[in-house]
Structure 1
Amino acid sequence: MASNNLLFSFLSLLLFSLHLGQGSSSPVHAHFYPLKLFVFGDSYVDTGNINVNTSSARNFPYGITFPGFPSGRFSDGRVLTDFLANYVGLKRSPIPFTAWKKTGSKLRAKCGINFAFGGTGVFDTLYPFPNMTTQINFFQNLIANSIFTSYDIHSSIALVSPSGNDYSFYLATNGSPEGVKPFVISVVNQISVNLKRIYKLGVKKIVVVGLGPVGCYPSPTAPSFKKCNETMNSLAVFHNTLLKQAVEKLNSETKLGGSPNFFILNMYDTVLSIIKNKGNPKVGATFQTPLKPCCFGVSSNFSCGSVDEHGNKMYTLCKRPDLALFWDTVHPTQKGWFATFNSLISTLKRI
């Protein structure tokens, strides 16, 4: 997702390691130890592909917790990709595709490549950035050009994040209420096509992110930040029900007596639980006002990171991002991702 939607150079390895305290989960508990991580999707997993001139994630105060400056992550710090990369034992997050293209170095791709672009969807949403089909095309081209070996691909994990931009775009372009359910069906069908295609390219462990409780995100709960929009949540439940059915079907077609190849991260129940409990006490995360973002615009015309024509800040910023679940109106803080990821580890242990 991108920060304005209704619904939704890195530091050194040493600095990455020094921040693993509150910013990361415990490493390497999964049963499967991948050589590389390949990432597809939107701003929940983008670590720097988005363009400097088109994204608030390239503006201060994004990145103030990690890496200390705006890096293209839609948060004050690490995002889902960073936590998963550390969890499965990679030395660092996979390099963003746009950064890799500048060098074309196999060495720089040793942990994988992140093809995700903030604001994009399964279908076209944010021009000119690539939708998920195009992102997979990039991956296929690299395989065809022998950037990765068959062993690399078979020994990898894919992270796929379709977090709701298609629905934001549908609503923003006057999609009809009666057309919502058919559209959800088309989105999930395309997700299934994408997952199967990644599998056929050789990746045998694929993690897909389910839709979170989008009606509880700060954007639809403003200005009180107290009450969730249950109509929007019902859309997420419908999406997740279809996604579960699609993944079960894919696993039945590809399992062939072995372990599953496709796994869903249950963002909906996980984030809803964190909101209701005002945190995740098991990992020391507390959010007293979980629906209120740390950084948000002074009016509906501005967003986190916005400045006026004179360079004046047009947003408010909390003093302690680590006490906020949400960073902006859509995206979690680093501590929010930390709390969320640690609740999702039970799924990853099955890989």
Structure 2
Amino acid sequence: MRCRLLVLLVLVAHTRPPAAVAREYAAIFNFGDSLADAGNLCVDGIPDYLATARLPYGMTYFGYPTGRVSDGRLVVDFIAQELGLPLLPPSKAKNATFHRGANFAARGLGHAVWSSGSLHTQIEWFQDMKPKLCSSPQECRELFRRSLFIVGEFGGNDYGSTLFSFRPMLEVHDLVPHIVDSIGRGIEKLIAEGAVELVVPGVMPNGCFPMYLSMFPKPPEMYGARSGCIKELNTLSWAHNAALQRKIAELRAKHPGVRIIYADYYTPTIQFVLHAEKYGFLKQKPRACCGAPGVGEYNFNLTSKCGEPGAYSCDDPSNHWSWDGIHLTEASYGHIAKGWLYGPFADPPILDNKHLG
């Protein structure tokens, strides 16, 4: 089965009526990694190595794999629908129109598992697309001034690749300022292009995800008493997010005419673990909906990952927060998107009444 999202998503244009939208955006431009990729890696067909572009990926909303690493929609999809915009086409899609936005997020520039398209590479793709979006620099700046830019998350793959190289934790922590500075430079590049509204997500609590729990077993005292998550991995995520929020504060002071929103992936994911029933999830240890049974308690097996032989999906992804052990279910992304749009998972919320005035 090929990734059929390319023209279909543009033509079908799943939207919600804009009448209820408090803030109108001309377009959304999205950058990121596999948490936000809408299929850039499979616009020319499914690579043989890409299990994430096979069923059961895409089963819940689309009914077929779209290149999204979930059972359905992602946060950016929910945001687009809530704002009355079509689902963003992948930036590499053929015969697509990008006047209402584009999704530049990509999982890789090559075959390496952790080779995520960097923010700066994706910004180059964005700059290359400008002739398709507007006919003059002034027209471009006006379009971008009325658009929403979602910048990330970035950093998760950098930390993951280093952890899976079994580098010391102190060495992994040393990456934090470099990664955050790189994100800051990317934000300023977009501001220079005319962006005045940017959403900058932090990273997730990796210590709660079945893949990390399966691959980095620890002594009992190194797990959270209530969450069952690996404390030192969550501390790394927390350190990144704290540094990123400091960087955002610096950029706000430097660019007072620009609204930069910190978007929180960490807090809602922790809440999914600690308060599962509140969100309609099963109260259980972190467990992948789609995985391979019989290998550990987290339903994650590196040799039989979701989409590969031996793996299967749970009957109802809507009652699980973890989809494949490292990415979230559509249900989880829906809760996060609502929290980014209206609070409390964004500072300030995208549709902030004070801002809308």
Which TM class, normalised by the smaller chain length?
0.7 to 0.9
Contact 1:290 1:324 in 2 (8 A): no
**What corresponds to 2:179 in structure 1?**
187
Distance 1:249 1:291, change over 3 A: same
Residue number among 111, 115, 120 corresponding to 2:104 in the alignment: 115
Deviations 1:200-249 (A, max 9, x none): 11111110111121111121234999710000000011001100000000
Measured after TM superposition, the shift of residue 185 of structure 1 is 1.1
Measured after TM superposition, the shift of residue 30 of structure 1 is 6.3
Contact 2:292 2:312 in 1 (8 A): yes
CA distance in 2 between counterparts of 1:327 and 1:174 reads 25
**What corresponds to 2:150 in structure 1?**
159
Deviations 1:295-319 (A, max 9, x none): 0135332200002xxxxxx113211
Identity, % of aligned positions: 25
In structure 1, the gaps of 5 or more residues are: 1-8, 21-25, 308-313
Distance 1:200 1:279, change over 3 A: farther
Question: Are 1:178 and 2:178 matched, yes or no?
Answer: no
Question: Are 1:316 and 2:312 matched, yes or no?
Answer: yes
Match of 1:235, SS?
Answer: helix
**What corresponds to 1:200 in structure 2?**
192
Match of 1:192, SS?
Answer: helix
Residue number among 63, 82, 86 corresponding to 1:87 in the alignment: 82
**What corresponds to 2:201 in structure 1?**
209
Measured after TM superposition, the shift of residue 339 of structure 1 is 2.0
**What corresponds to 2:117 in structure 1?**
130
Distance 1:203 1:46, change over 3 A: same
Residue number among 321, 334, 337 corresponding to 2:333 in the alignment: 337
Q: How many residues align?
A: 315
Distance 1:27 1:333, change over 3 A: farther
Q: What amino acid is aligned across from residue 348 of structure 1 in structure 2?
A: I
Contact 1:163 1:209 in 2 (8 A): no
CA distance in 2 between counterparts of 1:240 and 1:47 reads 24
TM-score by length of 2: 0.80
Distance 1:28 1:43, change over 3 A: farther
Measured after TM superposition, the shift of residue 343 of structure 1 is 2.7
Residue number among 130, 136, 147 corresponding to 2:133 in the alignment: 147
CA distance in 1 between counterparts of 2:14 and 2:53 reads 23
RMSD: 2.8
**What corresponds to 1:311 in structure 2?**
none
Question: Are 1:221 and 2:213 matched, yes or no?
Answer: yes
CA distance in 1 between counterparts of 2:249 and 2:284 reads 36
Match of 1:348, SS?
Answer: coil
Deviations 1:12-65 (A, max 9, x none): 6796649x7xxxxx9676654211111111011111112321422211110011
CA distance in 1 between counterparts of 2:189 and 2:119 reads 11
Match of 2:174, SS?
Answer: helix
Match of 1:109, SS?
Answer: coil
**What corresponds to 1:254 in structure 2?**
255
Match of 2:175, SS?
Answer: helix
Contact 1:30 1:348 in 2 (8 A): no
CA distance in 1 between counterparts of 2:256 and 2:277 reads 36
TM-score by length of 1: 0.81
Residue number among 264, 270, 274 corresponding to 1:266 in the alignment: 264
Measured after TM superposition, the shift of residue 174 of structure 1 is 4.4
Contact 2:33 2:105 in 1 (8 A): yes
Deviations 1:108-144 (A, max 9, x none): 1122111101257xxx9744x632211100111222x
CA distance in 1 between counterparts of 2:133 and 2:234 reads 41
Measured after TM superposition, the shift of residue 152 of structure 1 is 1.6
Distance 1:68 1:146, change over 3 A: closer
**What corresponds to 2:290 in structure 1?**
295
Q: What amino acid is aligned across from residue 122 of structure 2 in structure 1?
A: Q
Of 70-79 and 208-217, more deviation after overlay is shown by 208-217
Match of 1:130, SS?
Answer: coil
Deviations 1:255-279 (A, max 9, x none): 15xxx52111111112212221114
CA distance in 1 between counterparts of 2:19 and 2:90 reads 22
**What corresponds to 2:324 in structure 1?**
328
CA distance in 2 between counterparts of 1:40 and 1:153 reads 14
CA distance in 1 between counterparts of 2:209 and 2:337 reads 17
Contact 2:155 2:179 in 1 (8 A): no
Measured after TM superposition, the shift of residue 88 of structure 1 is 2.0
Distance 1:210 1:337, change over 3 A: same
Measured after TM superposition, the shift of residue 175 of structure 1 is 3.3
Distance 1:230 1:29, change over 3 A: farther
Measured after TM superposition, the shift of residue 196 of structure 1 is 1.1
CA distance in 2 between counterparts of 1:188 and 1:180 reads 13
Question: Are 1:35 and 2:26 matched, yes or no?
Answer: yes
**What corresponds to 1:70 in structure 2?**
65
Distance 1:276 1:28, change over 3 A: farther
